[in-house]
Structure 1
Amino acid sequence: MRIKVTSIYVDDQEKALRFYTDVLGFVKKDDVTQGPYRWLTVVSPEEPDGAELQLAPNDNPAAKA
């Protein structure tokens, strides 16, 4: 069994994308917008088919607890 996607709650998806790509060296894999929703993931450049980190908006009440 492998984990393919895990979510990281972020306050600002653009800011988080810049941090994960420019500072940590990840690369953007998926960036899909549908209305107000955006599915944004990054991956390690060494494993582009490995685990994805979803940069999810922090609008979930559980994430703010």
Structure 2
Amino acid sequence: MLDEDTDEVVDVVLLWWREGDGDLVDTLMDAIASLAEDGVIWVLTPKTGRPDTCCPPKSPSRRRRRA
């Protein structure tokens, strides 16, 4: 396991992300810099309804069309 300051190329990046952790896009861009060409990034967040949930689900539109 390496920290975010490594210069090594990695195959997998695992991020734990909460609401107050700053800008997720900036962190993902930083992660891509040390990611292998065929590497993957996994972002984990607190379960919906828990403190610090960063990405609350958007409810789908429930409009119905009438003929």
- Provide the TM-score with structure 1 as the length reference: 0.29
Higher strand share: 1
TM-score (norm 2): 0.29
The structure having more radius of gyration, on CA atoms, is 2
